């Protein structure tokens, strides 16, 4: 009997060991698949929250649309928060995302904070796709982990100036520059002045208008003295609307042209009929455009019980930025590290975004995805695109 129980115990132990080995094998296999976390630095309540909120919603929506998929053998998760357009808060949030959340890449926002973080980003080897299109970020030696997913502000301004030069009648055109006193606002100004000088365009005036101003009358009266043919605006919707409304009250006949953050549907209800004739730089598609890439956006939005026409261009812009980051993760040999994702992003060549934005290409020595823009004019309360993608 003693031998019987000893044999039974041995058999039970062997069965348990086999089960343990089997379970360990399954666990080891499952360990190969994990979650790649991407950080998000959003402005929802700060000085650029008017455009930052729909942009962040677009980023979140894209990640939600792929939540059930395995991308390069991993699930993806976007972890982000509002920093209210304050550089110290962005730095705190960055440290949390890096140290606590262990993100492998980041989707950022503003120019001031993106530029302030770029040395840390490089040291920490975290690929960073921002909503800032600062020309400074194109310097790959200083910003080796930053990627521009749309034309830089300087490239936008150059393209606008070239369009002015090519289409202006009656002599050499004169231009004013209107911007805010932030890193974002000032980003394209010196490059615009240099390009204008090289191309026979006279910059006759510059005016600084606060991002959240409700009155730009004094600046516009000063500008009126120089009587520019055109005024290029680098603002978001709120300040742009104020400028256009005050210009209408003053009866100015200057043609106003806004760079990308001044452009979009959110401008129209606050500017009213003062927006008629305004020309804007279009880096990303409007939801009402019939484009191949819009179908996936429509399907996702409708799956949430919402309507595509309830979204705006900045939502599409955020969607596209997230999509480009995920494409880099797909192409990465090791999608769990920043170095791996950077190498994946650098493999992107002529990425077809279905018309949602200009095709994007990166390489180990060039992280500027494109310099192409379109132009649209407000007609009967709606932006109508009137150029193909153009550059300078």
What number of other Cβ atoms are within 10 A of residue 23's Cβ? 10
Tell me if the domain spanning 153-282+375-385 has CATH number 2.60.40.1760: no
Residue 170: per-residue pLDDT: 87
- What pTM was computed for the model? 0.89
Give residue limits of the domains in the chain.
35-151+288-361, 153-282+375-385
Q: Band of the pLDDT at 6, cuts 50, 70, 90? A: very low
Question: pLDDT (tens digit, 9 = 90+) per residue, 323-340?
Answer: 999 999 999 999 999 999
User: Average per-residue pLDDT in the chain?
Assistant: 92
Question: pLDDT (tens digit, 9 = 90+) per residue, 98-125?
Answer: 999 999 999 999 999 999 999 999 999 9
Whether 20 has a pLDDT exceeding 50, the answer reads no
Beta strands 35-42; 75-82: pairing state: parallel
Do domains 35-151+288-361 and 153-282+375-385 share one topology? The answer is yes
At residue 354's C-alpha, the angle toward residues 349 and 356, to 5°, is: 100
Mean pLDDT, rounded, for 205-225: 97
Encode 63-87: b = buried (16+ Cβ within 10 Å), e = exposed. bebeeeeeebebebebbbbbbbbbb
Whether 11 has a pLDDT exceeding 50, the answer reads no
Question: pLDDT (tens digit, 9 = 90+) per residue, 265-315?
Answer: 999 999 999 999 999 999 999 999 999 999 999 999 999 999 999 999 999
Question: pLDDT (tens digit, 9 = 90+) per residue, 225-268?
Answer: 999 999 999 999 999 999 999 999 999 999 999 999 999 999 99
CATH architecture under which domain 35-151+288-361 falls: 3-Layer(aba) Sandwich (3.40)
* 3-class DSSP assignment, residue 233: strand
Residue 33: per-residue pLDDT: 67
Measured CA to CA, the distance from residue 378 to residue 265 in angstroms comes to 10
Q: Band of the pLDDT at 68, cuts 50, 70, 90? A: confident
Q: What is the DSSP letter of 357?
A: B
Mean pLDDT, rounded, for 184-209: 97
């Amino acid at each position: 009997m003693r031998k019987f129980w000893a044999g039974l115990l041995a058999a039970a132990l062997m069965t348990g060991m086999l089960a343990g080995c089997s379970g360990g094998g399954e666990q080891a296999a499952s360990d190969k698949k994990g979650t790649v976390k991407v950080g998000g630095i959003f402005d929802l309540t700060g000085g650029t929250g008017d455009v930052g909120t729909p942009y962040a919603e677009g980023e979140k929506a894209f990640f939600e649309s792929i939540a059930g998929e395995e991308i390069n053998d991993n699930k993806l998760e976007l972890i982000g928060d509002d920093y209210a357009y304050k550089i110290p808060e962005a730095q705190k949030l960055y440290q949390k995302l890096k140290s606590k959340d262990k993100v492998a890449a980041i989707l950022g926002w503003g120019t001031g904070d993106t530029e302030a973080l770029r040395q840390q980003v490089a040291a920490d080897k975290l690929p960073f796709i921002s909503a800032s299109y600062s020309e400074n970020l194109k310097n790959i030696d200083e910003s080796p982990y930053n990627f521009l997913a749309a034309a830089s502000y300087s490239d936008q301004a150059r393209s606008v100036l070239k369009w002015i030069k090519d289409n202006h009648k009656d002599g050499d055109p004169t231009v004013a520059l209107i911007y805010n006193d932030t890193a974002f606002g000032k980003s394209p100004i010196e490059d615009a002045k240099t390009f204008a000088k090289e191309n026979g365009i006279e910059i006759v005036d510059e005016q600084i208008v606060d991002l959240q101003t409700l009155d730009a009358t004094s600046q516009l009266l000063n500008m009126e003295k120089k009587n520019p043919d055109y005024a290029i605006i680098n603002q978001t919707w709120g300040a742009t609307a104020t400028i256009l409304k005050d210009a209408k009250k003053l009866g100015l006949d200057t043609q106003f042209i806004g760079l990308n953050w001044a452009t979009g549907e959110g401008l129209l209800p606050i500017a009213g009929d003062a927006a008629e004739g305004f020309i804007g730089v279009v880096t990303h598609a409007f939801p009402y455009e019939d484009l191949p890439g819009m179908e996936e956006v429509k399907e996702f939005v409708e799956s949430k019980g919402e309507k595509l026409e309830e979204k705006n261009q900045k939502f599409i812009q955020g969607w596209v930025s997230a999509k480009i980051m995920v494409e880099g993760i797909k192409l990465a040999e090791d999608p769990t590290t920043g170095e791996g994702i950077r190498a994946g992003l650098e493999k992107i060549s002529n990425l077809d975004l279905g018309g949602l934005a200009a095709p994007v290409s990166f390489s180990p020595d060039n992280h500027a995805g494109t310099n192409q823009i379109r132009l649209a004019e407000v007609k009967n309360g709606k932006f109508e695109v009137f150029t193909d993608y153009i550059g300078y």
